[in-house]
Amino acid sequence: MNILDRQEQIANAFKGIHENILAEFKQHEKEENIIDDHWEKHGLGTGHSVIIDDGEFFGKAGINFSNIKGEKLPASSVGSINKSSGLPYFATGVSVVFHPKNPNIPTSHLNIRYFCTYKNNEVFEEWFGGGFDLTPYVLDEDDCRDWHQSAKNACDTLGKEYFELFKKNCDEYFFLPHRKEHRGIGGIFYEKQTFKNTAEGLNFSQQVAIAFTEAYKKIITKHKNTEYSDEDTKFQRFRRGRYVEFNLVYDRGTLFGLQSGGRIESILMSLPNAVEWHYKFDSKLTDKQEKLYEALKNPINWIDNV
Amino acid sequence: MNILDRQEQIANAFKGIHENILAEFKQHEKEENIIDDHWEKHGLGTGHSVIIDDGEFFGKAGINFSNIKGEKLPASSVGSINKSSGLPYFATGVSVVFHPKNPNIPTSHLNIRYFCTYKNNEVFEEWFGGGFDLTPYVLDEDDCRDWHQSAKNACDTLGKEYFELFKKNCDEYFFLPHRKEHRGIGGIFYEKQTFKNTAEGLNFSQQVAIAFTEAYKKIITKHKNTEYSDEDTKFQRFRRGRYVEFNLVYDRGTLFGLQSGGRIESILMSLPNAVEWHYKFDSKLTDKQEKLYEALKNPINWIDNV
């Protein structure tokens, strides 16, 4: 198969996953609040960004598919100088962030992506990356266990050793050193993952997306009617500041997007619509909030704790 | 004079400037909204942070004095690897950010600082840094001219060539490459500036602080009673997102603070209390907003335009 046909086939696999996620989550929001944006950026690629901004159910949501090519792979995308750095590349993937209005429903994030570089018109290296993680504002331990169990089920399709490895990656990656805090209660994260063949990688990407969708649906259903106060919203907006701090200071995906001249609106769709920064706001926490902070300090083996 | 006495003398000069700024701006806010925090962080130093958070006049304000020492100067503080990198250092300075509630009053920022490194118990290198800049939400050209004229007057006390140089530094420094936008309409910025002697540097720091204070007082007085709508506030909160993007992605002062294990509450006091990120919010601008965007695209020689 020639390079372009192969790229299209891979992109189509991710496009299909994107459409499944859309079908599942669009139903929670009023049609009129959903922005459906097919875009093309010259010299970069194409994409399909579906955004909810100041919606009824979602404060902000972004469900993005992208399909990009570049002449020179920037160093940030591979973490460090690497043999593929500087080569032409192809990348496609799906990136999802949900910030529901109700503070009882955590923010969630999913990313699955395919990357390859070319040398002499042949694939030189290819790898997959992705994962999903959960950022609660109110800690619900059952939710955390279910979330990690879903992640484990997806990983087990690859082999028994993967969940522990990918969970550890996630705990290490979504960490804010300046706050000595994790972004949330984790999930899984993998980078530069190679597979037996491309099909196996695509299949795993799909398993991850399904696990995310099922787990998050369950959480939404459980909490969507839970009442909350203005104080709960204020605390949620304050905690969303940490989400912004992570994404702008540490997230390699964001850095790669900014460096590679990516489409800013799609890269920064992950940022919540309403965020507050307050001085020492968390120096006095309620018992419930204290429990959340404890869980963000040291990663927990949620499934072993059952 | 021994090292400790000399450090105290220099710190006291900045402490005096800090107190003058406090005296001037505290009067705009209700006493009960002002948080007065003297802090000490083991192994780092001491400081005096005065914060207004969700005030009547200021959405957020931070007026910070700090006095810190470290065993090893981190590389980010000097921009690149430099002969002082890794040496013990002493740093003191004043850092000010005002985010008034009224969108007709711009956000303003002042920083003045002294830095020195030691080798064999003697000062090895010393330099000053600082400047001030203005981030409007509504463009008032007279304000911009006055602001730059004040900056020029302060620079002229050093010599006729400095204003142009420091203005250019400011335009280059407060720039968001991913937005192709400047953070505001500029002012002055200088880094690693050396002087004939320490006294001259301290005197210039004071001139800069006075120029900032007088210029910003004038702007506050002019606009404090100008009415505004909820839409004006929404636009202000949206534009404050750019302020956060600059500070978290590009600002070397913030990076230095995070890397050197600084006091997070003081470093991030610069972030506004209420910020919104919206998808393509600025794809349709009013004529007035368009004028602001134009001014943020290409730096203007405000004084030559009189």
Give the pLDDT band (50/70/90) at residue A259.
confident
CB pairs A-B closer than 8 Å: 71
CATH, domain A3-297, list 3.90.650.10, 3.40.1500.10, 3.40.50.300, 3.40.50.620:
3.40.1500.10
Q: What's the Rg (C-alpha) of chain A?
A: 19
What is the pTM for the complete model shown? 0.94
- Give the tens place of pLDDT for each residue, B61-80: 999 999 999 888 766 555 54
pLDDT more than 70, % of chain A: 97
CA of A274, closest CA in chain B: separation in Å?
A: 5
Which pLDDT score, from 0 to 100, does residue B306 have? 42
- Among B44, B275, B283, B284, which would you mutate to test the A interface (most chain A Cβ atoms within 10 Å of its Cβ)? B275
| pLDDT top residue among A84 and A99 | A99
- Of A48, A109, A182, A223, which one is the catalytic site residue? A109
Q: Do B245 and A248 touch (CB under 8 A)?
A: yes
Query: Does A285 contact chain B (CB < 8 Å)?
Result: no
Query: Which residues on chain A are in Cβ contact (under 8 Å) with B53?
Result: 278-279
Q: What is the mean pLDDT of chain A?
A: 94
C-beta separation of B268 from B243 below 8 A = no
Q: Mean pLDDT throughout A252-271?
A: 86
Helices (H), chain A: 3-25, 141-156, 162-173, 198-223, 230-249, 252-259, 264-267, 287-297
Which pLDDT score, from 0 to 100, does residue B305 have? 47
- Give the tens place of pLDDT for each residue, A36-66: 999 998 888 999 999 999 999 999 999 999 9
CA B156 vs CA A98, B111, B159, B166, B192: distances in Å: 53, 19, 5, 11, 19
Considering only CB atoms, A51 lies closest to which of B35, B258, B279, namely B279
Give the pLDDT band (50/70/90) at residue A90.
very high
Which pLDDT score, from 0 to 100, does residue B282 have? 93
Which pLDDT score, from 0 to 100, does residue A306 have? 42
Residue B124, judged by CB atoms within 10 A of its CB (0-12, 13-18, 19+), counts as: middle
Question: How many C-beta atoms surround the C-beta of residue A88 within 10 A?
Answer: 16
Q: Do A264 and B178 touch (CB under 8 A)?
A: yes
pLDDT for residue B280 is more than 50: yes
pLDDT more than 70, % of chain B: 97
Which pLDDT score, from 0 to 100, does residue A112 have? 98
Each domain of chain B, given as residue ranges in start order, spans 3-297
Residue B304, judged by CB atoms within 10 A of its CB (0-12, 13-18, 19+), counts as: exposed
pLDDT for residue B34 is more than 80: yes
pLDDT for residue A305 is more than 50: no
Residue B285, judged by CB atoms within 10 A of its CB (0-12, 13-18, 19+), counts as: middle
DSSP for B168-224, written as a single string: HHHHHHSEETTTTEESSSEEEEEEEE--SSHHHHHHHHHHHHHHHHHHHHHHHHHHT
Q: Do A249 and B244 touch (CB under 8 A)?
A: no
